[in-house]
């Protein structure tokens, strides 16, 4: 059981901003910037590819609304939505969560973006493999 399951169960307090049948949103305890919000499904799954369509849809339905609330509350006009999957991808809490991180001045998410170049043959191979996986 992760700390987020314990928050959902009410065993650990949080600064709750939003709750419905499938989703809970609360302030991140270690904010990268003022207003840093976490949005989590109540379904206890570690990574997003494990999530049910129902939970995924419920999160998708409220994310824009919650982003608007973060913007209005903080005055931020820019923000990042971050969703880490796996310890190698910087995931610390193994319960699916979306970060909404306002960019306020220099505070917010620092992004390293080491862009490569997409080659035609590799692109064709990837598209074919992904379409195969989607069935």
Contact positions with ligand AMP (CB under 6 A) in 74-113: 84, 90-93
Find out whether 7 and 45 touch, Cβ atoms under 8 Å. Answer: no
Asked whether position 28 contacts ligand AMP by CB under 6 A, the answer is yes
CB 34 to ligand AMP: min, Å: 14
Contact status: 34 vs ligand AMP (CB under 6 A): no
- Alpha-carbon distance of 94 to 4, in angstroms, equals 9
Spot the catalytic one: 36, 95, 97, 99: 97
Helix (H) or strand (E) holding 73: helix 53-74
Round to the nearest angstrom and report the end-to-end CA distance of the chain.
33
Q: Which residues contact 108 (CB under 8 A, 6 or more apart)?
A: 32, 33, 78, 79, 80, 101, 102
- How many residues of this chain interact with ligand AMP, rule: CB under 6 A? 12
Among 1, 10, 21, 30, binds ligand AMP (CB under 6 A): 30
Q: Determine whether 22 is an active site residue.
A: no
Min CB(59)–ligand AMP separation in Å:
15
Q: Which residues bind to ligand AMP, rule: CB under 6 A?
A: 3, 12, 14, 28-30, 38, 84, 90-93
Catalytic residues: 97
């Amino acid at each position: 059981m992760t700390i987020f399951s314990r928050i959902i169960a009410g065993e650990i307090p949080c600064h709750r901003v939003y709750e419905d049948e499938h989703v809970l949103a609360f302030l991140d305890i270690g904010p990268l910037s003022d207003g840093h919000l976490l949005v989590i499904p109540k379904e206890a799954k570690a990574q997003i590819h494990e999530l049910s369509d129902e939970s995924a849809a419920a999160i998708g339905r409220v994310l824009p609304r919650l982003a608007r609330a973060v913007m209005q509350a903080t005055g931020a006009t820019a923000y990042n939505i971050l969703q880490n999957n796996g310890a190698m991808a910087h995931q610390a809490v193994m319960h699916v969560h979306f970060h909404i991180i306002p960019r306020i001045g220099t505070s917010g998410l620092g992004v390293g973006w080491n862009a490569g170049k997409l080659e035609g043959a590799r692109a064709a191979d990837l598209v074919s493999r992904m379409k195969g996986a989607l069935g």
